[in-house]
Amino acid sequence: MTARLTVLQVVHGYPPYDQAGTEVYTRTLSRALLARPGVEAVHVFARRGDPDAGEYTLEERELDGIHVHWVNYNYHSLHRQDALHQNAAIDSIFEALLERTGAHVVHVQHLIGLSTGIVEIARRRGIPVVFTLPDFWYQCIRGQRIDWRGDRCDSIDLSKCARCFWRKQAAYFVNAVRDRLHDEERSLPARLGSLPKLAVQTLREDAGRRPFERRRRDMNAMLRSASAIIGPSQFILDQYREFFDLEDTRLVHSDYGMETDWALDLVPRERPSGETHFGFVGTFLPTKGVDLLVEAFDSFHEPGVELHLYGRAPQHLQRFEEKLRLSTVNPSIHFHGPFENRELARVLGSIDVLVVPSIWFENSPLTLHEAALARIPVLTSDLGGMREFVEVHQNGLLFADRDVHDLREKIRQFIDDRELWSRLREPHQDIKTPAEDAEQIEALYRSVMKERPERKQPHTCE
């Protein structure tokens, strides 16, 4: 007799609409779970932002046997900072879906753009909730612990959080005052006369430490109610344990499972004599350190030594990409733009060293996993989960945090020391497959369900 589970994944986006790391990993895990004999069904509750669709409308499709439920939300109802993580309308939609799916476990991959109330709804029904920590959003409203100036927050000061948020999101102040003004049950002249008082009230309630203290309490209570919290890196688990004073017994270190089929098509580059091709793969963001890499590489003019950059900036950072392209006239630096996922083997097969120069505390970057699968040495920042990955897999070099000179020296090492490059091509630890990941995750689901005798039991198949 095998008890078969219905799993409900919760994530801030899902392919084909959103295809960044967490979204793609959620699809990979969902497919692998569905392939297991102990899993009856996998549902995904995700957000999408379609300006042409009605707010809070639900789109439902079956993709690869997975039942995907997208709620459309364009942040139209924002008027307080709390509304960035609490949304009664989304809570109501989720509660109805939870009832309809009969899920036995809820797995939260990310809640940005959704609502933290989802966790309390599941808890009230006796359904265990498992979290995976992809970044620092539960600690930092901007997700990466990078402030408005682009400086990293090595520790968290809630007063600084308030300054950072309001410098970046002044529109929330205007919306908050407007909503408070609209709520006044008085004549228009009287309401206009109360505008200064309302502005002061909004600043006091929404612009200082107070909303960030509330947010921290909300996130703390939510995470403490979780049955288990998965960290793809030990680094991120340690950061959350310290910030929220979480119990060790609920924390689970388990790295991502990665698709490997694409690597079957990869023909590793054998690096002809005198050549070294470095590569960057990802979104052009200041936090990704791509400008640091271009600056470091700009002084290399040797024949056969090249830098290939694959990716682009999001729409709101087009000026950043333009400045990046204009910052160098080195013909050995090539901008290729983005590529389709099916082209990954071709792209990685064209480079000798993958560079991941991020300046934020990356958790467990999927590009590092892909490099290990492709047998490509890596050069990455001596920081966070990037350092941890290289220490575990022994497949690369680290350069000092934001140090252009040290990055340049490490680039030189790879150019000059072919034996070093050959040695670092072989990771010391295999990358986990999706099937192995799903086996471990299903075992975790069953373990936390045993700890909650009041839960609804999964049905048994004969």
Q: Express each pLDDT in 35-68 by its tens digit.
A: 999 998 999 999 988 888 888 888 899 999 999 9
Question: In this structure, are residues 6 and 65 in contact, taking their beta carbons and an 8 Å threshold?
Answer: no
- Helix 210-224 with 234-244: angle, nearest 10 deg: 120
Tokens encoding 208: 């200082």
The whole-number average pLDDT for the span 422-430 is 81
Q: Is 154 exposed, middle or buried (0-12, 13-18, 19+ CB in 10 A)?
A: exposed
pLDDT at residue 462, as a whole number: 37
Instruction: Tally Cβ neighbours within 10 Å of residue 450.
Output: 10
Judge if 39 and 121 occupy the same domain: yes
**DSSP classification of residue 341:** G
Q: Are residues 194 and 336 in the same domain?
A: no
Question: Average pLDDT of 366-384?
Answer: 90
Beta strands in 194-275 (DSSP E): 228-231, 251-253
- Give me the half-sphere count of Cα atoms (radius 13 Å) on the Cβ side of residue 159: 0
| Residue 152: inside a domain | no
203-240 CB burial, b ≥16 within 10 A, e <16: eebbbeeebbeebbebbeebbeebbbbbbbbebbbebb
3-class state of residue 3 by DSSP: strand
Burial class (CB in 10 A: 0-12, 13-18, 19+), 78: middle
Task: Give the CATH number, domain containing residue 106.
Answer: 3.40.50.2000
Specify the higher pLDDT residue, 213 or 62. 62
pTM, two decimals, is 0.81
**Using CA of residue 53, residue 56, residue 61, residue 66, what is the dihedral sign?**
positive
Whether residues 82 and 231 fall in one domain: yes
Predicted confidence at residue 164, as pLDDT, reads 75
Clarify whether residues 330 and 243 are in a common domain. Answer: no
What six digits make up the tokens of 367?
């590009």
The answer to whether position 156 is within a domain reads: no
**Start-to-end CA span in the chain (Å):** 6
Q: Identify whether residues 405 and 298 lie together within a single domain.
A: yes
Q: Where are the beta strands (DSSP E) in 348-448?
A: 353-356, 378-381, 396-399
Domain annotation covers residue 428: no
Q: Which of 457, 441, 437 is nearest to 449 (CA)?
A: 457
Whether residue 341 sits in one domain with residue 251: no
Residue 83 lies in a domain: yes
For residue 158, tell me if it sits in a domain. no
Query: Does 189 lie in the same domain as 59?
Result: no
Range of the domain at 358: 261-423
CA dihedral 376→377→382→387, nearest 10 degrees, is 70
pLDDT value at 262 more than 90: no
Neighbours of 443 (CB within 10 A): 10
Structural domains counted in the chain: 3
- The yes-or-no verdict on residue 446 having pLDDT over 90 is yes
Asked, for residue 141, whether it belongs to a domain, the answer is yes
Backbone region of residue 65 per phi and psi (left: phi > 0; alpha: psi in -120 to 50; beta: other values): left
Co-location of 9 and 105 in the same domain: yes
Query: Do residues 103 and 249 share a domain?
Result: yes
Structure tokens at 458: 């999964």
Shared domain for 244 and 175, answered yes or no, is: no
Q: Is the residue at 183 inside a domain?
A: yes
* Residue 180: per-residue pLDDT: 53
User: How many other C-beta atoms lie within 10 A of the C-beta of residue 79?
Assistant: 19
- pLDDT at position 85: 73
- Is 375 found in the same domain as 324? yes
Mean pLDDT value across residues 355-372: 90
Element (H, E) at 276: strand 276-281
Q: Please give the structure tokens belonging to residue 83.
A: 């509304």
Residue 187 pLDDT > 90, yes or no?
no
Q: What is the pLDDT of residues 102-145, one digit of tens each?
A: 999 999 999 988 888 999 999 998 999 999 999 888 888 777 88
pLDDT of residue 295: 94
Measure Cα distances from 418 to 115, 299, 399 in Å.
51, 21, 18
Q: Is residue 153 part of a domain?
A: no
Residues 269 and 303 in one domain: yes
